[in-house]
Amino acid sequence: MRVHITFTNGTSLFGHMNIRTDLNIGLGDVLNDGSKFIEFQRPSGQPVQLNKNAIAYIVEASDDL
């Protein structure tokens, strides 16, 4: 899923998150699952781990942006 992440310091970035939609898992489930980090893939393809405490919000973004 392509997402737009905005951080608590006001910066933001686009990228991809692998969310299992076949299991009815949404962004809220990923953010509230008890882990401290989420896996995120930058547009370059590089995977990174983001600290959830630094994230203000995540929204699904269209693929044509």
Q: Where along the chain do its domains lie?
A: 2-60
pLDDT band at 20 (very low <50, low <70, confident <90, very high): low
Higher pLDDT among residues 19 and 1, named by residue: 1
Other beta carbons less than 10 A from residue 49's beta carbon: 10
Q: How far is CA 57 from CA 4, 22, 23, 39, 63, in A?
A: 8, 23, 22, 15, 19
Out of 7-11, 21-25, 29-33, least confident range: 21-25
pLDDT band at 28 (very low <50, low <70, confident <90, very high): confident
Using a cut of 0.85, tell me whether the model's pTM lies above it. Answer: no
Closest alpha carbon to 36 in 53, 14, 60: 53
- Model pLDDT, residue 61: 84
**Domain 2-60 classification at class level:** mainly beta
Q: How many residues does the chain have?
A: 65
- Model pLDDT, residue 49: 94
How far apart CA 53 and CA 50 sit, in angstroms, is 9
